[in-house]
């Protein structure tokens, strides 16, 4: 999971597996739209969504025979991605290969220096820069001033240009018609079809582990909402074109600015969006208040995700996350009151973690009246403040990028906490949380309400699917 995911991770996907989570690759989709609008022929191959083997992917590339190919890559998969690029070059030796994504944002110069098969890389937000580069290549014009471009100068030395934040108001709608839309799905959504959208980019906070804030946005703390009218225009488009029953705003944090959020909800109400579609979003519990929750419900909102990360105040202060744990409880209570489904994310292995702070996190998660949770292992991705701190303090176990999987492996060795202890604690956390929740009648009854909402859209199968997964989780561990 790299393109489309703010928390790239790597697992083994067997052919035929049905994924509970496959994010829509927005940056690829915006870039494809920009290129198409400028007259270029564009084809998208999402090998994960299409269930391709490497051989099938390469065969598709050979049939397309493109002049330029762009890959969005990430740290956990970088080694395998480079193997794939080498295979592409064997088939089409003259093809121009361009890379983007967080790993080459941090290591772009090194990537070009070490890998002759890479022609260019684009750091940070690449949509407009990719368009500028392709235009320049097509016209054989100067590329040296393209924002974020990593290239080889006349002497053959790799160099990188500075980044400039994108003006999101200038972005077209994503080129969804080029993507296999039926396969993109977030398991938090309650209705199908569910279409993913962006209402904003960026975040007003700078947590030390956050890959997007630290790397893609270059620590700018810039929350940039799309124009409210344009967002609702796009909602209407996906309702008409893709028959969306739910829209999921996969933002960094849609609630990053209260006025914007309230204005967006008002525009939805004005255009009678709640009558046509429900929506859910990734937000936060730091800015969200009762006025926002109430307006969200009136505008058709039925679900909100948010990050908590830790239940230990010392750890939260250390990572720079301004979370008030008591406020989170109040916000969750409000969301439940308005029948808005809640999902909280937590992470083990954060900067300054101890056995006690991990237990504090699990205890807080158990006490929080949320409907679902996500536990992950914090990964100090290159370019983040966490990576720099861990490197300076000699806490990194290795630099095998495949171990930076953001999923099940810890690469940090704390002073009094072994990496394997973090992994073992993470392995048991979800089961321990679920066992606690199943003993709470109010929580169980609320899940039945959300199941009934989902069943009306997706059929009885969703109930048995969730039940079987919960049973397997308990039995497995």
Tell me which long-range contacts 178-182 makes (C-beta under 8 A, separation of at least 24): 178/29, 178/32, 178/36, 178/42, 178/43, 178/44, 179/24, 179/25, 179/29, 179/44, 179/46, 179/49, 180/46, 180/49, 180/50, 181/242
| Pair 145, 72 in one domain | yes
Indicate whether 417 and 276 sit together in one domain.
yes
From residue 389, alpha-carbon distances to 4, 22, 103, 218, 382 in Å are: 27, 31, 18, 17, 11
| pLDDT tens readout for residues 435-450 | 999 999 999 999 999 9
Q: Is residue 442 part of a domain?
A: yes
What are the phi and psi torsion angles at 248 (to 5°)?
-110, 115
Please indicate, yes or no, whether residues 98 and 205 belong to a single structural domain of this protein. no
Domain assignment present for residue 16? The answer is no
pTM of the prediction?
0.95
Looking at the fold, whether 415 and 330 belong to one and the same domain comes out as: yes
Asked whether residue 37 is domain-assigned, the answer is: yes
Peptide bond just before 193 cis, omega within 30 deg: yes
Reported as a pLDDT band with limits 50, 70 and 90, residue 476 is low
Domain with residue 267: its CATH number is: 3.80.30.20
179 found inside a domain: no
Q: What is the number of structural domains in the chain? A: 2
The yes-or-no verdict on residue 27 having pLDDT over 90 is yes
Q: Domain check: are 81 and 204 in the same one? A: no
Give Cβ neighbours of residue 437 (< 8 Å, ≥ 6 apart): 366, 443, 444
> What's the mean pLDDT in 191-197?
96
Higher pLDDT residue, 387 or 475?
387
Q: At 454, is the pLDDT very low, low, confident or very high (cuts 50, 70, 90)? A: confident
**Within-domain flag for 105:** yes
User: Are 153 and 210 within one domain?
Assistant: no
- Judging by beta carbons within 10 Å of its beta carbon (0-12, 13-18, 19+), is residue 259 exposed, middle or buried? exposed
Q: Does 391 have pLDDT greater than 80?
A: yes
Domain boundary among 160, 176, 198: 160
Q: For residues 450 and 339, give the distance between their C-alpha atoms in angstroms, rounded to a whole number.
A: 9
What's 28's domain CATH number?
A: 3.40.50.280
pLDDT at 306 over 90: yes
Which domain covers residue 148, as residue numbers? 21-160
Q: Note whether residue 102 is domain-resident.
A: yes
214 and 141 in a common domain: no
Secondary structure of 393-443 in HEC code, one letter for each residue? CCCECCCCHHHCCCCCCCCECECCECHHHHHHHHHHHHHHHHHHHCCCHHH
The pair phi, psi for residue 66, each rounded to 5°, is: -75, 160
Contact 49, 184 (CB under 8 A): yes
């Amino acid at each position: 999971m790299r393109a489309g995911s703010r928390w790239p991770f790597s697992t083994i996907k067997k052919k035929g597996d049905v994924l509970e989570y496959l994010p829509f690759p927005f940056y690829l989709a915006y870039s494809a739209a920009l290129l198409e609008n400028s007259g270029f022929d564009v084809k998208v191959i999402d090998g994960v969504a299409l269930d391709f083997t490497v051989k099938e992917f390469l065969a598709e590339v050979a049939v397309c025979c493109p002049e330029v190919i762009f890959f969005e890559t990430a740290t956990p998969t970088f080694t395998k991605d480079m193997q794939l690029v080498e295979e592409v070059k064997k088939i089409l030796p003259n093809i121009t290969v361009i890379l983007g994504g967080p790993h080459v944002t941090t290591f772009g110069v090194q990537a070009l220096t070490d890998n002759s098969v890479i022609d260019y890389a684009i750091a940070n937000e690449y949509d407009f820069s990719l368009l500028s580069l392709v235009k320049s290549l097509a016209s054989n014009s100067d590329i040296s001033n393209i924002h974020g471009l990593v290239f080889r100068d006349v002497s053959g030395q790799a160099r990188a240009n500075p980044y400039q934040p994108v003006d999101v108001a200038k972005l077209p709608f994503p080129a969804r018609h080029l993507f296999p839309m039926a396969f993109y799905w977030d398991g938090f959504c309650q209705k199908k079809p569910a279409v993913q959208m962006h209402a904003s980019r960026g975040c007003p906070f700078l947590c030390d582990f956050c890959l997007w804030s630290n790397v893609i946005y270059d620590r700018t703390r810039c929350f940039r909402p799309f124009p409210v009218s344009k967002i609702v225009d796009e909602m209407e488009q996906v309702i008409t074109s893709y028959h969306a029953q739910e829209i999921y705003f996969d933002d960094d944090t849609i609630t990053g600015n209260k006025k914007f959020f309230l204005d967006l909800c008002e525009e939805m109400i004005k255009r009678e969006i709640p009558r046509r579609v429900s929506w859910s979003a990734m937000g936060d519990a730091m800015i969200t208040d009762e006025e926002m929750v109430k307006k969200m419900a009136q505008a058709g909102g039925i679900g909100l995700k948010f990050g908590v990360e830790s239940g230990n105040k010392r750890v939260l202060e250390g990572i720079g996350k301004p979370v008030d744990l008591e406020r989170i409880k109040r916000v969750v209570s409000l969301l439940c009151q308005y029948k808005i489904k809640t999902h909280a994310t937590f992470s083990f292995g954060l900067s300054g973690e101890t056995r006690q702070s991990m237990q504090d996190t699990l205890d807080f998660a158990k006490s929080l009246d949320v409907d679902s949770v996500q536990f992950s292992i914090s990964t100090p991705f290159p370019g983040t403040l966490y990576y720099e701190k861990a490197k300076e303090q000699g806490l990194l176990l290795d630099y095998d990028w495949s171990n930076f999987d953001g999923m099940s492996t810890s690469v940090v060795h704390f002073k009094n906490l072994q990496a394997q202890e973090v992994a073992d604690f993470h392995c048991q956390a979800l089961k321990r949380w679920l066992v606690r929740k199943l003993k709470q009648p109010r929580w169980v009854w609320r899940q039945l309400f959300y199941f009934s909402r989902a069943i009306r859209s997706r059929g009885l199968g969703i109930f048995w699917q969730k039940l079987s997964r919960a049973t397997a989780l308990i039995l497995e561990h």
